[in-house]
Amino acid sequence: MSGHSKWANIKVRKTAQDQKRGKIYTRHARLVEMAARGGPDPVMNPSLRTAIDNAKADGVPNANIDRAIKKGSGELKGEQMAVEVYAAYGPGNVAMVIECLTDNKNRTLSSVRSILERRGGRWTESGSVLWMFQQKGVVIGRGRDVPMERLHTEDMELRLIDAGAEDIEWSADTVEVVTNAAGWPKVRDLLKVQGCEVTTAGLKFIPTQKTAVTDLATAQQLMNLIEAIEEDEDVSEVHTNADIADEIAAQL
C-alpha cells in the first residue's frame, strides 16, 4: 500500500499562500459556519464537530470558531455561505477543479474567471472536467506523541485498511491515507488514538485521468495560476490532474 500517493502530485508544493494564517482562518470559519446550520451543538452534529476539530488543528482561535457557529446557527445575522465548484483548464491543458466558499456567488465567479483569463487558463463547464476526478477522503497525520517509524508497521497498515484506507503512503514524519468518500473519519480517529497530529482530514477531488506536464515553463505557469487563484479570499482549494515530471517538480 505504500509508494507514490494517488494525490500527492495534485499540489506539487505548498504555496506561500498556505502560510498566510488569515486565509486559513477564513476558510475554516466558513466551513464551521456551514456545518453549524445542522445545529450549534457539536455533540449532536458530527459535521460541526469535524469542522471544529479541523479548525483547531490549524490553530484557529476559539473566538473565531464561536462566532462562526453563531453565524451558521442564525444567532448572528449575515449572508449565507454556499459551496461553489468551478472547472477550468490551465496551461498544458491541465484540468482544474476550483472549490469556493462564498456568500456572494457573482463576486466569486467574476473574480475567478478574471484570474483564469489573465494567467493562461480557460473557463469550462464543470461536466467536462469533473468526470476526470473522484471525491476521496484524504487524511494526513504527523508524528506527535510517537515517531512515525514506530507507527509504520504491518499491523498498523492492516488496521488502517480495516478502517477504510485504499492507499497509504509513509514518509519520515507523515502518513498520507486515501479512503473512499465515507471512510476518512474512521482513519482520522484511528491516527489520533495512535498519537498522530492530524493536519488534513476531509474530502478531496482526486484525479483519475492525469495530464503529463513535461516542461518547466508550463509547470511554472501552472503553479503561478494556482497560487493566484488561491489568493482569492473565496477560494478554499484548487485541485488539478497535473502529473508533473519529478525532474521538473524539483526545479519549481
pLDDT band at 13 (very low <50, low <70, confident <90, very high): very low
Q: Which of 18-22, 99-103, 179-183 has the lowest mean pLDDT?
A: 18-22
pLDDT band at 136 (very low <50, low <70, confident <90, very high): very high
Query: Which has more confidence, 140 or 146?
Result: 140
CA-based torsion, 210, 211, 213, 217: positive or negative: negative
pLDDT band at 4 (very low <50, low <70, confident <90, very high): very low
- pLDDT at position 16 over 70: no
In tens, the pLDDT along 212-224 reads 998 999 999 999 9
- pLDDT at position 46 over 60: yes
pLDDT band at 2 (very low <50, low <70, confident <90, very high): very low
Q: Residue 251, class by beta-carbon neighbours within 10 Å (0-12 exposed, 13-18 middle, 19+ buried)? A: exposed
82-90 and 122-124: which strand pairing? antiparallel
pLDDT computed for residue 20 by the predictor = 66
In tens, the pLDDT along 194-251 reads 888 888 888 889 999 999 998 999 999 999 999 999 989 899 889 999 998 888 878 8
pLDDT band at 149 (very low <50, low <70, confident <90, very high): confident
Q: Which of 20-24, 31-35, 88-92, 108-112 has the lowest mean pLDDT?
A: 20-24
pLDDT computed for residue 102 by the predictor = 92
Q: Residue 223, class by beta-carbon neighbours within 10 Å (0-12 exposed, 13-18 middle, 19+ buried)? A: buried
pLDDT computed for residue 203 by the predictor = 86
- pLDDT at position 38 over 50: yes
Domains and CATH numbers, the chain: 17-73 (1.10.10.200), 81-132+209-249 (3.30.70.980), 133-207 (3.30.70.980)
Q: What is the 3-state secondary structure (H, E, C) of the chain?
A: CCCCCCCCCCCCCCCHHHHCHHHHHHHHHHHHHHHHHHCCCCCCCHHHHHHHHHHHHCCCCHHHHHHHHHHHHCCCCCCCCEEEEEEEEEHHHEEEEEEEEECCHHHHHHHHHHHHHHCCCEEECCHHHHCCEEEEEEEEEEECCCCHHHHCCHHHHHHHHHHCEEEEEECCCEEEEEECCCCHHHHHHHHHHCCEEEEEEEEEEEECCCEEECCHHHHHHHHHHHHHHHCCCCEEEEEECEEECHHHHCCC
Q: What is the rounded average pLDDT for all residues in the chain?
A: 86
